[in-house]
Copies of this chain bind each other. A is one copy, B any other.
C-alpha cells in the first residue's frame, strides 16, 4: 500500500482512508475509556499546577485531536501530566490572572521550543538522559508530587512556605495534628480503594471460562480502568448529598467555570499581585524572565516522556522528528484554548493500549468527551472533594518510584546507582532542574573519564622469531585528547617497573578506530621521548584513517608502523640487526606507497 504525499505528511489521512466500523468501534471504546481516566486526572493535575480545575480540561482535548492527525503511534495520548503540572506550578503563585496566563504562555513557548528542536533535529538531546538519571528524576518528582498532595489528602489548613519537597514535608509534619478527620478518612480510604481496584484488572479470566464469567471479567476490567472516574463520581455524590443536608464534611474543589474556552492567542501580558493589594503589570519580557529555565526544561521533559511512550508501545518505525512536530503543535494549538503544557501520558497510553485502540483517531473521541464534560458537567465538578483528587494523584505517582532498580545496580554498577541517588537527592533538596542537570553532567563526566583513562593492558611479548618487546594495548576505540598525557605516563611507569629497559615498545592499534590531533602529536612525542632512551616505538595495525592522521601531524614521517605480527617480526629482526637510522624505510614503504593524493582523497572521504 503506497502512501500519497498528503498521507506522508498527515498520517491521520492514512487512518481515515478505509476507516472500518470495526476500527471505529475499537477506537470509540478506547477513546471513552481514556476519557474516563483523563477527566479526573486533568482536574487533579490543574489543581496540582496551582490553576483552577477547568484549565485541566482545556488541556485535555487539543492534544488528542492534533495527535490523531499527525501522530504515528496509536497508543500515545497527549494531555496534562503530573510532571508537567508540577513544573508549571512554580509559576502560578504570583496572584491575579498571572497563574493561568503564565501556564498558557509556557505551553505556547514549550511548543515553539519543541518545533525548533524538531527542525534542528535536536530531539537526540534526550539521548543524553540515561536510564539512571530518568529513574532518579522521575522518582524524585513522584515524591515531590506525593508530598504536595498530602495537604489536600489530610485536609490540613494553611500552606507550606514553599512548594519544594523539604518545606512541604516540614509543613506536613508540623501541621499533622491539625488534620481534618473526615478529609483524611476520605483521602486515605480513597487511596486504598484505588489501589485495590487497580489490582482488579490483573485477575485473569481463564480462556475456557463460561460466558457469564467472561462478562464478569470484562466488568472487573472496566471498573478497574475507570476507577478514578468512579471514585470521583461517588465521593462527589456523597459530598453533594451532605451539602444539601447542610453539612460540609469535606473541603471541596469549588466553582469550576462552565463552557468551552475561547480560541484566542496566548496571553503575552499579565498582571501580578503587588504589595497591599496593588497589581503590577508585566509585559512579555517580564513573563519570559519569570518562566526562565522552564522554557527549556519543560520541552525536554515533554520529549523525554513522549520518547519513552512511543518506545514502549510503538516499536520500530516511529519517526522521532514527526512525533516531535505532533507534540509541538499539540502545545502551540493547545495554548490557543487555554491549555497548560502537555505531553504523552504513560498511564493513559497504557489504558489506551489495554482498551484495544486501533488508530490515533481514538484521541478524537476522548476530546469529544472532555468537551461534553466542559459544556454539561462543570456545575457538578464543584462538589468533588479535594481529598479525592489528591488520592487520584497520589495513587498514580506512587508507581513512578522505581525502587526495584537498586538491587541490580548495586550488584553490577554502583556508579550508576550513585547517579540515581544524586539525581534523586538533588532534585528533592534543591530542585528538579539541578537534579536532572547534575545527573546528566555526571554521565557525561563518566564518558569523558572512560575516554580520558582508557583501560591499558601491558604485556611482555616475543615476536615470531623470539625477539622481546613490550606491548601496550589500549582498550578504547577512540584515542583522543584527554587520554594523551595519561597514556604517556602509564607507558613510562610501566617501563620503569621492568627489570631492564625494553628495546621495543609496540602499541596495539588494531582496536583503535580514531585518533585526534592531540593524540597523534602525543604518539609522535612519545616516539621521540623513547628514542632518547634507545627504545623503538612501533605501532601495530593502524587503520587508514589513523595512518593519515599520524602522517599529516608529523612533518617527518617517522613512526614505525606494521600491519600484523608477521611484519612486526620482520621489522624487529631488521632493526635489531642494523639499529641505524637508514633502516627507517625497510617497512616504511608500506606507508610511503600510499603517499599519493588519490589514496589520501579516498581515505579523507571515508573519514568524513
Contacts and interface: CB of A to CB of B under 8 A. Distances in A.
Interface residues of A, number: 64
B476 A411 contact: no
A321 to B, nearest CB: 12
Interface stretch (A18-26, A99-107, A180-188, A479-487): A479-487
Contact of A481 (B131, B475, B604): B131
A496 B132 contact: no
A517 B484 CA distance: 28
Contact of A516 (B413, B517, B600): B413
A579 B536 CA distance: 55
Contact of A443 (B124, B447, B481): B481
A412 B450 contact: no
B517 A131 contact: yes
A552 interface: yes
A492 B130 contact: no
B480 A477 contact: no
Contact of A448 (B128, B477, B489, B495): B128
B412 A607 contact: yes
Interface in A230-251: none
Nearest to A409: B517
A177 B517 CA distance: 44
A532 B317 CA distance: 14
Contact of A600 (B411, B447, B600): B411
Contact of A127 (B315, B452, B513): B452
Copies per assembly: 2
Contacts of A495: 316
A518 B131 contact: yes
A7 interface: no
A154 interface: no
A518 B307 CA distance: 14
A433 interface: no
A409 B452 CA distance: 22
Interface in A404-423: 405, 408-409, 411-414, 416
A320 B493 CA distance: 13
A511 interface: yes
Given A447-B480, A482-B128, A521-B131, A317 B408 contact: no
26 contacts: A124-B452, A127-B483, A127-B485, A127-B486, A128-B452, A129-B481, A130-B480, A307-B485, A311-B485, A311-B525, A315-B529, A315-B532, A316-B492, A316-B495, A316-B529, A317-B496, A408-B553, A412-B552, A413-B549, A414-B608, A416-B516, A444-B448, A447-B447, A455-B513, A476-B478, A511-B511
Interface of A: 124, 127-132, 307, 311, 315-317, 320, 405, 408-409, 411-414, 416, 443-444, 446-448, 450-452, 455, 475-478, 480-486, 488-489, 492, 495-496, 511, 513-514, 516-518, 521, 525, 529, 532, 548-549, 552-553, 600, 604, 607-608
